[in-house]
Amino acid sequence: MLVKSAIIERFLDEKLQVHPDVITYIIERDDTSLIDRIIERVPSECLVASLCHVPGLCLSRDGFRFLGDPEIEVVLGREQTAKPIDNVGDYVTYFNNRYTTLSGIIRGRCNAAPIEALFRNDRYTQEECAIIGMIADIRTTANGHRMAQLEDRTGTINVLFNRAHSEFGEAEKLVHDEVVGVKGTLSSEKTLLFADHLFRPDIPFSHQPYMSDRPGKVALISDIHVGSNTFLEEEWLSFSDWLSDSEISYLLIAGDMVDGIGIYPGQEHELTLPNIYEQYDRLGEYLSDLPSRIKIICAPGNHDVVRGAEPQPAIPEQFRKKYSKNCVFVENPAMVSVQGVKVLMYHGRSYDDLIGMIPGASYEESDDIMIEMLKRRHLSPSYGRKTPIAAATDDRLVIDPVPEILHTGHVHILGVSHYRGVLCINAGTWQSQTTFQKQMNINPTPAKAVVLDLMTLKPVICDFMSTEPTPEPI
């Protein structure tokens, strides 16, 4: 098994730095000769060995897009897809589906044995072996190591991540119910697997985003909260005017379209529209003011009128009387192809769970948490916390296929990051700080929209706070 520090040293001998993804790639391949072959390919003027220098690894886009493709296509999460929860047995099917999908993604990179085989067969004792399991339990030992219990369909095993190990940082971020692979050595009594390497399903190293072959601009927003006394109407209207004069063809809204009713104690004192129909009607009127050429995708969030359990159904028709034909209602989450560019829209309830579970995670840096979602290929890995999950025959919260853009909201703080060719956007809000957020010390960044040119996928942040000049039309 190759060790991270030895790999770094080998590159330093050649006066080269090495990108972390290259290190992970070499460890996963477990091929020492790869190091020399990479070094050979780094041009003399280059100081950092990166993925483009790895032989045999070509960046590639998934699949084909056809010229005849519709401009907007709901790939996943079309309305009426989310099913009612029928019985408890569905949860077994649900977790089996999660395990099958995510372990399938990992399996190509780690030759895993069923957990039960480790106990049954002596050939694994004190030898290097690999398993793929769901995290059934995770805790810190008295000595500061991490002990996880991994479960697959055949059994469970305890896995120890040593705090002195260079990959311990990733082990500290393990959360309940995520699916991981582990390569390690089985103890002589077969009670414990000493972990050497942790595999997450992750985004393939080779992933390259598709970009549209024709012009098109999209605006991404979230958390409008119409009906709340902190909804920023003036700023919204200036955004609306700006949109009307812009070249934007698509507007994507990632949930919390309205403030809702009875979402938190005492909400009735903070509503200007105390009727849910009026709230949706008002938003419908705002959206109808926009040019009909703009296609609007509306997804729900935890303040919307539908059930909280994810996947959340689309806003029902009875609330859509004031909405024009250019509005498309989708579920949460939903994968929408915009001129062939896949946008995964997810409101982001699971931020409330992940922020408590991942060391160093914070509401201010929601863009980092999107990267954690991508590494796990799951929008809400841990079951039974603040994010309600509705069981189904398939796990709709699995991130598959890999999108070009992950678009979330909920946190009310704008954030943008990139991870292995995926652009992560947390779209902020159109509501100023609420009493609840003051108590929680959450400082929102309201009245901003992220605008993208679909041919380049370069994000531009446009600020509509009344103190700021309205941006030039794009």
Interface residues with Fe ion (CB under 5 A) are 223, 256
Question: Could you say whether residue 386 binds ligand D5M (CB under 6 A)?
Answer: yes
Question: Could you say whether residue 229 binds ligand D5M (CB under 6 A)?
Answer: no
DSSP β-bridge partners for residue 299:
254
Question: Could you say whether residue 280 binds ligand D5M (CB under 6 A)?
Answer: no
By rule CB under 6 A, what string of x and - marks binding of each residue 328-357 to ligand D5M? ------------------------x-----
- Choose between 33 and 439: whose C-beta lies nearer to ligand D5M: 439
Question: Could you say whether residue 363 binds ligand D5M (CB under 6 A)?
Answer: yes
- Choose between 264 and 277: whose C-beta lies nearer to Zn ion: 264
**Which DSSP state fits 394?**
S
In the list 412, 414, 421, 464, the residue contacting ligand D5M (rule: CB under 6 A) is: 412
- Choose between 256 and 404: whose C-beta lies nearer to ligand D5M: 256
In the list 151, 178, 202, 223, the residue contacting ligand D5M (rule: CB under 6 A) is: 223
Stretch that binds ligand D5M, among 194-202, 272-280, 336-344, 407-415 (CB under 6 A): 407-415
Q: In angstroms, what is the minimal distance from the CB of 294 to Fe ion? A: 22
Handedness of CA 323, 276, 255, 134 (dihedral sign): negative
Q: Binding partner of residue 411 among Zn ion, ligand D5M, Fe ion, none, CB under 5 to 8 Å per kind?
A: ligand D5M
- Are the C-beta atoms of 412 and 394 separated by less than 8 Å? no
Using DSSP's 3-state secondary structure scheme, residue 201 falls into coil
Cα 359 from Cα 251, distance rounded (Å): 34
- Choose between 18 and 411: whose C-beta lies nearer to ligand D5M: 411
Give 253-321 as a DSSP string: EES--B--SSSSTTGGGGBS---HHHHHHHHHHHHHTS-TTSEEEEE--TTSSS-SSBSBPPPPGGG-T
Q: In angstroms, what is the minimal distance from the CB of 264 to ligand D5M? A: 7
Stretch that binds ligand D5M, among 12-20, 208-216, 229-237, 405-413 (CB under 6 A): 405-413
Question: Could you say whether residue 322 binds ligand D5M (CB under 6 A)?
Answer: no
In the list 102, 357, 374, 411, the residue contacting ligand D5M (rule: CB under 6 A) is: 411
**Nearest residue to 449 (alpha-carbon basis) of 417, 427, 467:** 427
Which residues are CB-neighbours of 398 under 8 A, at least 6 positions away? 98, 101, 102, 377, 378, 379
Q: In angstroms, what is the minimal distance from the CB of 407 to ligand D5M? A: 16
Question: Could you say whether residue 410 binds ligand D5M (CB under 6 A)?
Answer: yes
Residues of this chain that interact with Zn ion (CB under 5 A) are 256, 301-302, 410
Strands (E), 402-446: 405-408, 415-419, 422-426
- Are the C-beta atoms of 235 and 202 separated by less than 8 Å? no
Both tokens of 18, joined, read 């090495």
Q: In angstroms, what is the minimal distance from the CB of 267 to Fe ion? A: 12
Both tokens of 64, joined, read 């084909």
Question: Could you say whether residue 372 binds ligand D5M (CB under 6 A)?
Answer: no
Q: In angstroms, what is the minimal distance from the CB of 334 to Fe ion? A: 17
Question: Could you say whether residue 261 binds ligand D5M (CB under 6 A)?
Answer: no
Both tokens of 28, joined, read 């996963």
- Choose between 308 and 471: whose C-beta lies nearer to ligand D5M: 308
- Are the C-beta atoms of 437 and 421 separated by less than 8 Å? no
Q: Binding partner of residue 231 among Zn ion, ligand D5M, Fe ion, none, CB under 5 to 8 Å per kind?
A: none
Cα 446 from Cα 235, distance rounded (Å): 9
- Choose between 162 and 429: whose C-beta lies nearer to Fe ion: 429
Question: Could you say whether residue 440 binds ligand D5M (CB under 6 A)?
Answer: yes
Question: Could you say whether residue 435 binds ligand D5M (CB under 6 A)?
Answer: no
In the list 51, 59, 442, 461, the residue contacting ligand D5M (rule: CB under 6 A) is: 442
Both tokens of 327, joined, read 């509005």
CA dihedral of 371, 374, 378, 383, whole degrees rounded to 10:
-20
Nearest residue relative to Zn ion (C-beta): 410
Both tokens of 326, joined, read 């250019």
Question: Could you say whether residue 46 binds ligand D5M (CB under 6 A)?
Answer: no
Greatest distance between any 2 Cα atoms in the chain: 71
How many CA atoms within 13 Å lie on the side-chain side of 237?
5
Site residues (vs ligand D5M, CB under 6 A): 223, 256, 302-303, 352, 363, 386, 410-412, 437, 440, 442
